[in-house]
Amino acid sequence: MSELSKPKEDLQDPDEAQGPEEVQLLGAEGGEATSLSASSPPVSLSAPVEALPQEALNKMVADMVKFLLRKYRAKEPTSYTELLNTVLRDNHDHYPVVFCQAIECILLVFGVDVKEVDPRKHIYITVPNLGLTCDAVQRGGQGLPKAGLLVVVLSLILQNRDHIPEEEIWEALNKMGLYVGREHSLFGEPRELLTKVWVREGYLKYRQVSDSDPARYEYLWGPRAFLETSKEKFMEYLLRVSRRAFISFPLPSAEAVKEEEEGALSQSSSQADLSL
């Protein structure tokens, strides 16, 4: 049984998990190699690379995640060269570890897959994981991607024989720093997202448990989930993450991503004015 189906494990203190720069996700266990969509980074390390302080590494990973999210929303490809020169600048030697952690973050938190489309030039595209298009539905795709959370919820349902009591969903999501009635910097108010937004869009069903008194409720896959993806794809995905544990990754807050986007728009506007 995967780690997703173990909501009662003791993890991090909930108050520690609520910082705007962090979110809980499925991450690689210590010492285990990561196998994701993008190929191994095209860097040859002939000499040992000086170890980075964890804080500096976290900052580089967060910067690369922000950059990849911007590319995702703009529907633009990126490249090894661009990632080096735009994100890492003077830290090229650390590209392999930063790149691997960044694509793991963006997949497991935001539900965005990084795929290499040109192995010779190392060109990458960012696409929705498992075919889910919920981010395009919400705000025209302009907000922070939320498909990663939807993947977690659909996975929990699948592993609980296709329906899961509401209280068990919240036991699991509480471990990730998501609480009913408490606004989250990445996902907003989570109960409204699950019970109203995703039910309205057809990704989830929310219904009363038969013969329950007092009334209890449960979640199931909705018709749109079956239309856009499949249980088989989810099982393949779960095999990729089933040996991972819940850990914290440093991630850009919603405010940080918004500031970066506003800065990029301002810069583009200035360049346009200069060209006139």
Please check whether residues 124 and 179 belong to one and the same domain: no
* Residue 79 included in any domain: yes
Task: Report which listed range, 105-119, 121-135, 209-223, is most confident.
Answer: 209-223
- Cα–Cα distance measured from residue 231 to residue 65, given in angstroms and rounded to the nearest whole number: 28
Average pLDDT, the chain: 74
Does a structural domain hold residue 108? yes
Q: Which domain holds residue 207?
A: 137-236
Of 60 and 23, which is predicted with more confidence?
Answer: 60
Alpha carbons 234 and 185: distance in angstroms, whole number: 27
Q: Decide if 272 is inside a domain.
A: no
Does a structural domain hold residue 24? yes
pLDDT exceeds 90 at position 163: yes
Find the mean pLDDT for residues 68-74: 90
- Let me know whether 107 and 158 are in one domain: no
pTM for the complete prediction?
0.66
Question: Is residue 23 located within the same domain as residue 126?
Answer: yes
User: Do residues 28 and 113 share a domain?
Assistant: yes
Is the domain of 58 the same as that of 149? no
Q: What is the pLDDT of residue 7?
A: 36
* Token representation of residue 121: 């030039």
119 and 248, same domain (yes or no)? yes
Mean pLDDT of 50-58: 80
Do residues 94 and 195 both lie within one domain?
no
Exposure class string for 126-160: b at 16+ Cβ within 10 A, else e:
bebbbebbbbebbeeeebbbbbbbbbbbbbbbbbb
Residue 276's pLDDT band (cuts 50, 70, 90): very low
CATH number at residue 171: 1.10.10.1210
Output the pLDDT for position 235. Answer: 87
What is the per-residue pLDDT for 218?
97
**Residue 230: inside a domain:** yes
Same domain, yes or no: 25 and 152 = no
Please tell me the predicted confidence (pLDDT) of residue 44. Answer: 45
Number of domains making up the chain: 2
pLDDT score, position 142: 56
